[in-house]
Amino acid sequence: MSVNKILVTGGAGFIGSNFINYLLANRDDVFVVNLDKLTYAGNLENLKPSENKKNYVFVKGDITNNELVDYVFNKYEIKYVINFAAESHVDRSILGSEVFYRTNVIGTNVLLEASRRYEIEKFIQVSTDEVYGSLGPEGLFTENSPLSPNSPYSSSKASADLMALAFFHTFGLPVVITRCSNNYGQYQFPEKLIPLMIINSLNNKKLPVYGDGLNVRDWIYVLDHNRAVETVLEKGKPGGIYNIGASREMRNIDIVKLILKKLNKPESLIEFVKDRPGHDRRYAIDSTKIKNELGWKPVYVFEDAISETIDWYIKNKVWWERIISGNYKEYYKTLYENR
Ligand code: NAD
Ligand code: TYD
């Protein structure tokens, strides 16, 4: 690629910031415009490694804002779009769904329309395996699995996927969809399972495990996800869908116990609480297609990467203390008070 102008939306969130830091550390043939609204989940501190780079610019704004999005495409001559921006937490979508549909569906529509107007080269819609719904004890999600989303969050992501594909079929917009499994790693907001359990353990607080703790998620290190998105950016086929996963299924209770063990904390901190409504039982992803067609495969080993992640949270107390002392406290109370 020659120098290419990439619009990364949601680049101040967990995965988007890891992606930008990764991309700019490894290549100088790209110019990245990070468009992020800085919701509760957006944190510019995540971008310290990139903020002074000449080929990086931050724009604070909302992807649902047509005028602003048009201005950004025009001013920076955007050629590629990677849409990470989203409301991303299932529990929040149960507490209030409107903003999920506004950002994840309408916001994606605004970006797709601008991409048509400016005839961009590729649009990557960063989606999730949650659009496939829930699995029984056997089997894996493939790209051909039917869409069967169960939460307001996953239904908003599935809606955006269908819209993106419609823009490919109807207008020939070069859209590619990625569907990744559960990520973990540095800069993950402490509402998600792994950082929440690490931080509660460090603070000797109870660890709220939903239901029987036997729900299964398929875990991938965020750095493996970054490389997959970069691969799709370069080689993904327009109109294509690519599952991304590292074949590392874990029961929630086993992750929680592993975290306690690494931190030398007692299992008596575990507290089984009321289950999440509509809680998907199991996710597990088949990523044969991206391996065979595009040559990507995960390289990080779960045991090492989870240890790195735990160490990062130990070393970066200032980062998460600032978060949990703010608005997050109110949310935590609403969600867990009556469980
Ligand atoms: P996150 O919640 O950490 O970050 C989301 C970012 O989007 C934040 O910086 C936020 O400020 C920004 N944002 C929200 N609404 C916006 C708006 N209207 N306009 C502009 N910016 C806005 O999320 P994440 O975990 O980094 O997930 C990123 C993407 O990856 C999402 O699309 C999510 O659906 C998808 N995904 C996440 C996972 C996971 O395990 N976290 C797995 C698969 C796919
Ligand atoms: P989460 O990190 O919210 O990701 P997702 O629901 O999108 O997969 O949750 C991962 C799993 O952990 C999920 O089965 C719900 C469970 N969980 C708990 O048991 N307790 C918690 O406090 C949280 C946040 C999640």
- In a shared domain, residues 198 and 259: yes
Q: Read off the tokens for 239.
A: 């109109």
For residue 332, what pLDDT band results from cuts at 50, 70 and 90? confident
Task: Classify residue 294: in a domain, yes or no.
Answer: no
Q: Please state, as a whole number, how many other Cβ atoms lie within 10 Å of the Cβ of residue 108.
A: 27
Integer angstrom CA distances of residue 187 from 141, 318, 335? 27, 12, 22
pLDDT of residue 329: 79
Residue 130 among the catalytic residues: yes
- In a shared domain, residues 157 and 196: no
193 Cα–ligand 2 center, Å: 5
- In a shared domain, residues 189 and 127: no
Q: Mean per-residue pLDDT for 128-150?
A: 98
CA–CA gap between residue 33 and residue 56 (Å, rounded): 6
pLDDT of residue 294: 98
Task: Classify residue 298: in a domain, yes or no.
Answer: no
- In a shared domain, residues 202 and 262: yes
* Any atom of ligand 2 within 6 Å of the Cβ of 216: no
CA–CA gap between residue 183 and residue 283 (Å, rounded): 12
Residue 153 among the catalytic residues: yes
pLDDT digits (tens, 9 = 90+) for 121-133: 999 999 999 999 9
Q: pTM, whole model, 2 decimals?
A: 0.97
- In a shared domain, residues 13 and 120: yes
Supply the DSSP string of 120-179, one letter for each residue: -SEEEEEEEGGGG----SS--B-TTSPP---SHHHHHHHHHHHHHHHHHHHH---EEEEE
Output the residue whose Cα is nearest ligand 1's atom 14: 86
Instruction: Tell me the one-letter amino acid at 79.
Output: K
pLDDT of residue 237: 98
81 Cα–ligand 2 center, Å: 29
Supply the DSSP string of 83-104, one letter for each residue: E--S---HHHHHH--HHHHIII
Q: Mean per-residue pLDDT for 82-103?
A: 98
Instruction: Decide if pLDDT at 1 tops 60.
Output: no
Q: Cβ < 6 Å from ligand 1: which residues?
A: 9-10, 12-16, 36-39, 41-42, 62-64, 84-88, 103, 107, 126, 128, 157, 180, 182-183, 189
Q: Mean per-residue pLDDT for 52-80?
A: 97
Residue labelled with tokens 């609403």: 334
pLDDT digits (tens, 9 = 90+) for 158-213: 999 999 999 999 999 999 999 999 999 999 999 999 999 999 999 999 999 999 99
Integer angstrom CA distances of residue 182 from 53, 89, 132, 218, 247? 30, 12, 13, 6, 11
- In a shared domain, residues 199 and 154: no
Residue 113 CB contacts under 8 Å (≥ 6 apart), including other chains: 66
Supply the DSSP string of 102-116, one letter for each residue: IIIIIIHHHHHHHHH
Task: Classify residue 296: in a domain, yes or no.
Answer: no
Task: Classify residue 293: in a domain, yes or no.
Answer: no
Task: Classify residue 339: in a domain, yes or no.
Answer: no
Task: Classify residue 195: in a domain, yes or no.
Answer: yes
pLDDT of residue 3: 65
Residue 129 among the catalytic residues: yes
- In a shared domain, residues 239 and 199: no
Helix (H, G, I), strand (E, B) or coil at 339: coil
- In a shared domain, residues 128 and 228: yes
Q: What is the mean pLDDT of the chain?
A: 96
CATH number for position 108: 3.40.50.720
- In a shared domain, residues 224 and 324: no
Residue 146 CB contacts under 8 Å (≥ 6 apart), including other chains: 132, 133
pLDDT of residue 2: 53
pLDDT digits (tens, 9 = 90+) for 24-36: 998 999 999 999 9
Domain residue limits at 231:
4-183+220-244
- In a shared domain, residues 129 and 208: no
pLDDT of residue 326: 82
- In a shared domain, residues 116 and 189: no
Task: Classify residue 265: in a domain, yes or no.
Answer: yes
Total number of domains in the chain:
2
